[in-house]
């Protein structure tokens, strides 16, 4: 008799493309079918078949307080009792914007949207409207959502599924996207030398997280800041993953580099569908209704998401980031050593409460190096770990995330699972 997950997947395949609503969830690259989740709490998820999983995906990063955190849930339920959507201003959107600005001072003004993709798309439109230039420089393997221009050499599901080129994206749009290898300042200098007068912005994950975790090399972010200032281009930090995770103030606080614009994702809504972008007042006032760059959304500033976001950020302000980073570092190093003891080449990249185990002995500092990892070995590792009750990302081109809800017992049980894996 098929499992409930298998039955749901069979039904889903008849009404959803590939049986999923986001490509990597199909688990094609790891050689199995997805499990369907019934509920989650803290560090755990439960499938429709009753399988309990220690979760290291955490909704792809934002559940830093853990799933169904009590204070976040209470705030969301209280807001829902007052109405799910107003399509009008609400007090909590003002309070949340003020709180974000206090934590990330570079975001002098903030515009709420409904997703990280919408945030990055809107930030680039704003950069183009502000500078009156068209070209955008992004980095190979970095993923900024599925807006047309971002799909050129994108990471995440595009890399995982080995999708070639940019099907569905007109050549004229793709031509406005310039590429450089991550951590390669010389390549950035060369692109600006050739196109500097036409580049509106550089957009970057300040810590690459969609080809696995790749930290910035020493001086790399500082160098981007200098180049953008020199040529009059805007520097956009896509902190959808790193914001409030690598430090309370994001990567810009951790590395001491100030971008012109910042994009944030669903962590500012406690996991609800939300995002925002913000930056210097003089730039943000080009957004309608202050200025001519148009962007709108009925669910922007949704009251339930705003309330959950306030509770999340207030909870994070009381959390011990240093302790979580230290625990995660030891845990990730122990995982890597256990795999090396099985004869596997492993490169570990770790930062804060994020890490990636690359099945390669090549140091991973950019997308090309990440592609040397053995995807077949990762798929076998993923399948066995899931069988032992551990949920990892169904792609070797993603990060693993711990949270403040993960206990020492969770980490020990996970390491016990690694010991049982046969590769």
Who's near 318: CB < 8 A, 6+ residues apart? none
Does 4-64+320-420 match 70-317 in CATH topology?
no
Provide the pLDDT confidence category of residue 141 given band limits of 50, 70 and 90. Answer: confident
**Residue range 45-97, pLDDT digits in tens:** 999 999 999 999 999 999 999 999 999 999 999 999 999 999 999 999 999 99
Residue 150 pLDDT = 72
| Mean pLDDT score, 344-365 | 98
Residue 361, pLDDT above cutoff 70: yes
Q: What is the pLDDT of residue 157?
A: 47
* Cα 403 to Cα 219: distance, rounded to the nearest angstrom: 29
SS3 content of the chain, % helix, strand, coil (to 5): 45, 15, 40
Whether 303 has a pLDDT exceeding 80, the answer reads yes
Which residues are known to be catalytic? Answer: 143, 238, 266
Nearest-10 crossing angle of helices 408-420, 321-341: 10
Report pLDDT for 165. Answer: 61
pLDDT in tens, 8-38: 999 999 999 999 998 889 899 899 999 999 9
Q: What is the pLDDT of residue 155?
A: 45
| Distance (Å) of CA 43 to CA 77, 100, 160, 341 | 21, 26, 25, 27
Q: Which pLDDT belongs to residue 174? A: 79
Give residue limits of the domains in the chain. Answer: 4-64+320-420, 70-317
Binning pLDDT at 50, 70 and 90, where does residue 146 land? confident
pLDDT computed for residue 158 by the predictor: 52
The token pair at 73 is 């849930």
User: CB neighbours of 103 closer than 8 A, spacing ≥ 6?
Assistant: 244, 248, 249, 313, 317
For the chain, the first-to-last Cα distance in angstroms comes to 29
Instruction: Give the architecture (CATH level 2) of 4-64+320-420.
Output: Alpha-Beta Complex (3.90)
- State yes or no: pLDDT of 329 exceeds 90: yes
Q: pLDDT at residue 320 above 90?
A: yes
User: Is it the case that residue 149 has pLDDT exceeding 90?
Assistant: no
Task: Give the whole-number percent of the chain exceeding pLDDT 90.
Answer: 88
Question: Tokens 């185990």 identify what position?
Answer: 357
Provide mean pLDDT across the span 208-229: 96
Mean pLDDT confidence for 373-388: 97
pLDDT tens by residue, 150-207: 766 554 545 544 455 667 777 788 788 899 999 999 999 999 999 999 999 999 999 9
111 membership: H or E segment, kind and range? strand 109-113
Question: What's the rounded mean pLDDT across residues 373-394?
Answer: 97
Q: What percent of the chain has pLDDT over 70?
A: 96
Residue 214 CB partners (closer than 8 Å, separation 6+):
182, 183, 207, 208, 349, 364, 365, 366, 370
Nearest to 386 by CA among 147, 51, 70, 66: 51
- Model confidence pTM above 0.85: yes
CATH 3.40.640.10 fits 70-317, yes or no: yes
Across residues 36-46, what is the average pLDDT?
98
Q: What is the pLDDT of residue 161?
A: 47
241-272 per-position pLDDT tens digit = 999 999 999 999 999 999 999 999 999 999 99
């Amino acid at each position: 008799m098929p499992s409930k997950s298998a039955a749901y997947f069979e039904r889903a395949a008849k009404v959803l493309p590939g049986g999923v609503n986001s490509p990597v969830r199909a688990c094609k690259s790891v050689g199995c079918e997805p499990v369907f989740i019934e509920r989650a709490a803290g560090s755990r998820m439960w499938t429709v078949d009753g399988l309990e999983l220690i979760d290291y995906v955490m909704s792809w990063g934002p559940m830093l307080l853990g799933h169904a955190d009590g204070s976040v849930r209470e705030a969301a339920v209280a807001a829902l009792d007052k109405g799910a959507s107003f399509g009008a201003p609400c007090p909590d959107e003002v309070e949340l914007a003020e709180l974000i600005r206090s934590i990330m001072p570079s975001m002098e003004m903030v515009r709420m949207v409904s997703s990280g993709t919408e945030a990055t798309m809107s930030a680039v439109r704003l950069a183009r409207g502000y500078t009156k230039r068209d070209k955008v420089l992004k980095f190979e393997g970095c993923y900024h959502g599925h807006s047309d221009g971002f799909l050129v050499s994108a990471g995440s599901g595009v890399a995982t599924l080995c999708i070639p080129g940019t099907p569905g994206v007109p050549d004229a749009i793709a031509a406005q996207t310039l590429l450089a290898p991550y951590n390669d300042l010389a390549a950035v200098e060369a692109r600006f030398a050739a196109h500097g007068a036409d580049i509106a912005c550089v957009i970057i994950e300040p810590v690459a997280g969609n080809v696995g975790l790749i930290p910035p090399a020493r001086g790399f972010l500082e160098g981007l800041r200098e180049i953008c200032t020199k040529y009059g281009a805007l520097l956009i930090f896509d902190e959808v993953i790193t914001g409030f995770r690598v430090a309370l103030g994001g990567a810009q606080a951790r590395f001491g580099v100030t971008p012109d614009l910042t994009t944030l994702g669903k962590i500012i809504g406690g996991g609800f569908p939300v995002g925002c972008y913000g930056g210097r007042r003089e730039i943000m006032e080009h957004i309608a209704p202050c200025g001519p760059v148009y962007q709108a959304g009925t669910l922007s500033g949704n009251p339930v998401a705003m309330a959950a976001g306030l509770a999340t950020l207030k909870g994070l302000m009381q959390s011990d980031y240093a302790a979580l980073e230290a625990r995660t570092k030891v845990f990730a190093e122990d995982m890597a050593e256990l795999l090396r003891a099985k004869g596997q080449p492993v490169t570990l990249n770790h930062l804060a409460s994020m890490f990636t185990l690359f099945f390669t002995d090549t140091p991973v500092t950019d997308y090309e190096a990440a592609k040397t990892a053995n995807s077949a070995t990762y798929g076998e590792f993923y399948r066995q770990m899931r069988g032992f009750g551990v949920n990892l990302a169904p792609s070797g081109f993603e990060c693993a995330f711990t949270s403040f809800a993960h206990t020492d017992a969770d980490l020990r049980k996970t390491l016990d699972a690694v010991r049982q894996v046969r590769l």
